[in-house]
Amino acid sequence: MAELQGKGINPGLAVIIVGDDPASRVYVNNKKKACAEIGIYSEEHALPAETTEAELISLIHTLNGRKEISGILCQLPLPKHICEENVLLAIDPKKDVDAFHPVNVGKIMIGDYDFLPCTPAGVMELIKESGIDPAGKECVVVGRSNIVGKPQAMLLLHAHGTVTICHSRTKNLSEVTRRADILVAAVGKANFITSDMVKDGAVVIDVGMNRNSEGKLCGDVDFENVKDKCAAITPVPGGVGPMTIAMLMKNTVRAALL
C-alpha cells in the first residue's frame, strides 16, 4: 500500500449498510477490519431501516462524485421497500467494487472486465491456489443467484470448465452433483449437500452462510460426512467468506487505478 501511496494512489472504500441485520453487521465489520489491516481508507454509512430509496440513491450520487472514494459497496440484502436494482444502477460502474452493475455484469460475460464479483472470484482463487485446474473438468454450481451462482458458472467457463448450473427445479439433482469434479454449493440451506451427492475425490467449495437450529454458522455442505470422501473442501467459517473480503480489497485497489 505504501508503494501505491507513494505514487499518489490512495484507495478508499465506502460501505453502506441499511438497517440492522446482524449478519450484515458482522460482514461489514469484517470488511472495515480488512481495510484497516492493509491500510485502505474506509468509511461506513450506516443508515436506518426506514431510509427511502431516494435518500440512499442520493448518498450514492454524493459518493460517486468524491475523489477520495474509489469503491462503493452497498451491503445486500436491502430492506424490502428499496429496489436493489435501482440502487445498484446508481453506483458508478468504475466504483462498483462488487461488480453488480449491469455494465460490469455484461463485461464479465464477454471476458473483458475491470472487476470480478468478490465471492465467485474468491472461489476461483481458492481453486487456483490449491493447484486445481478447472480446464476440461465437470464443474457443477448449485444455485443460480446473480451474486454467486450465475457469475460463478461464467468464471468456471472462462477457466475452460464444463459447467452445469443446478437449481430448485433441477431433476435428479444428486445425479448431476455426483458428476462433479468441482462442486460449488451456493444454495443457502444448511446441510443441503450430503455425502451421497458427492463423487469420491471431488473438490467441494461451500459458499453457504447459514445459521443452524442452534444459531451456529454453517455452510450448505454436510462437512463432517463429506470431508472424508472429497479431495479438498472449504470450511464455514474460514473458507469462502474471508476470500470474499480479500477480493473486495483487491477490487478497491484496482478501482483506485482506473
**Rule CB under 6 A: which residues touch ligand L34?**
26-27, 30, 73-76, 98, 118-119, 209, 217, 236-238, 241-242, 244-245
Question: DSSP assignment, residue 93?
Answer: G
* Annotated catalytic residue 98: yes
Compare residues 98 and 181 and give the one whose CB is closer to ligand L34: 98
Question: DSSP assignment, residue 78?
Answer: P
Compare residues 138 and 192 and give the one whose CB is closer to ligand L34: 192
Compare residues 74 and 190 and give the one whose CB is closer to ligand L34: 74
Compare residues 74 and 82 and give the one whose CB is closer to ligand L34: 74
Decide: helix, strand or coil at residue 129: helix
Do 108 and 154 touch, CB atoms closer than 8 A? Answer: yes
* Annotated catalytic residue 75: yes
Q: Helix axis angle, 240-257 relative to 22-38, nearest 10°?
A: 50
- Tell whether omega for the bond before 79 is within 30 degrees of 0, i.e. cis: no
Out of 7, 20, 21, 31, the active site residue is 31
Alpha-carbon distances of 73 from 69, 93, 101, 129, 152, rounded to whole Å: 11, 11, 11, 26, 19
- Smallest distance, ligand L34 to C-beta of residue 98, A: 5
- Smallest distance, ligand L34 to C-beta of residue 238, A: 5
- Smallest distance, ligand L34 to C-beta of residue 59, A: 15
Out of 96, 98, 114, 206, the active site residue is 98
Compare residues 44 and 178 and give the one whose CB is closer to ligand L34: 44
Residue 8 grid coordinates: 499518489
Number of Cβ within a 10 Å radius of residue 145: 15
- Smallest distance, ligand L34 to C-beta of residue 142, A: 17
Do 98 and 117 touch, CB atoms closer than 8 A? Answer: yes
Residue 257 grid coordinates: 487505478
What gap in Å lies between CA 224 and CA 218, rounded to an integer? 11
Number of Cβ within a 10 Å radius of residue 170: 16
Decide: helix, strand or coil at residue 121: helix
Residues 6+ apart with CB under 8 A from 176: 140, 164, 166, 170
- Smallest distance, ligand L34 to C-beta of residue 108, A: 15
Residues designated as active site? 31, 75, 98
